[in-house]
A = this chain, B = another copy of it.
């Protein structure tokens, strides 16, 4: 069972418990079938389609979901996104959990697209962070990609990111931190280091960092950093990033900018599932 299936099982467990959907049990005969249409109620970028469909199949394998537009599509308000059919009980039980996943995914994709649009045509890439809803890392990272932004490392395992506490732990030297990371880190992961001033940046470049993260620097400082790096090492701006600031950062010439807000503060998109009892 993969991580998304574990999350869906957990979500259904908390919504149903052992007692189940008491309204549906009381009112909907098990043999009744239904159909449904999923509509976008506002303009958005779609994401989370597979997650949406999995919830229905898990509740009742006889439920089917047919998507009319793919992940990553930019749709207008009123767009018909999917058609569903299956036992009405299953459709009703799965509805809320499926929407909770997909509305959040679409919210992230839409905000990511807004960010990516700000830097279109430049070399600047907008990255997400590890500030994701617990259990939804994979889905949220896929939603960021669906919106046209890029992923930072997935977790603590697929990239070295040296922060102030790590540097302090080896005695305060950026060089020592980079050397020790190089010696002990997995062979195929790159080493990024976070710096807060230009001296640290110089030391990091000098000691061979693969990527440098510039923490909470203003535009002037970032501009100096770009000059110092001179294209020898990719630079990532991080901290205090707003949508408005993105074009300026592209102009300054950093390579990456990471924004926690893409995942931790996206609002849910308005999607509506209309169900009907099917004629059958």
- Chain A contacts to B: CB under 8 angstroms: 1-3, 6-11, 13-29, 32, 34, 88, 92-93, 96-97, 99-101, 103-104, 107, 127, 130-138, 150-163, 165-166, 168-170, 177, 180-181, 183-192, 210-211, 256, 260-261, 264-265, 267-268, 275-277
Contact = CB atoms under 8 A, between A and B. Distances in A.
B134 A135 contact: yes
Given A3-B13, A152-B187, A158-B158, A181 B135 contact: no
Given A17-B154, A264-B268, 6 more contacts: A3-B18, A7-B135, A26-B183, A93-B156, A100-B134, A154-B157
Contacts of A160: 22-23, 26, 188
Contacts of A210: 188
A113 B230 CA distance: 43
Contacts of A21: 156-157
Interface-central residue, A88, A107, A154, by most chain B CB under 10 Å? A154
A22 to B, nearest CB: 5
Copies of this chain per assembly = 6
Contact of A188 (B27, B92, B107, B189): B189
Contact of A186 (B88, B154, B181, B276): B154
A29 to B, nearest CB: 7
A260 B268 contact: yes
A233 to B, nearest CB: 13
Given A133-B100, A188-B190, A19 B166 contact: no
Contacts of A2: 16, 18
A189 B158 contact: yes
Contacts of A177: 27
Nearest to A162: B23
A119 to B, nearest CB: 16
Contacts of A192: 188
Given A18-B154, A27-B166, A181-B23, A159 B134 contact: no
Contacts of A92: 165-166
Q: Which 6 A-B pairs have the closest CB atoms?
A: A159-B188, A17-B17, A11-B134, A265-B267, A26-B184, A14-B18
Contacts of A268: 131, 260, 264-265
A260 B183 CA distance: 22
Contacts of A107: 265
Nearest to A107: B265
Contacts of A134: 7-8, 10-11, 97, 100-101, 135-136
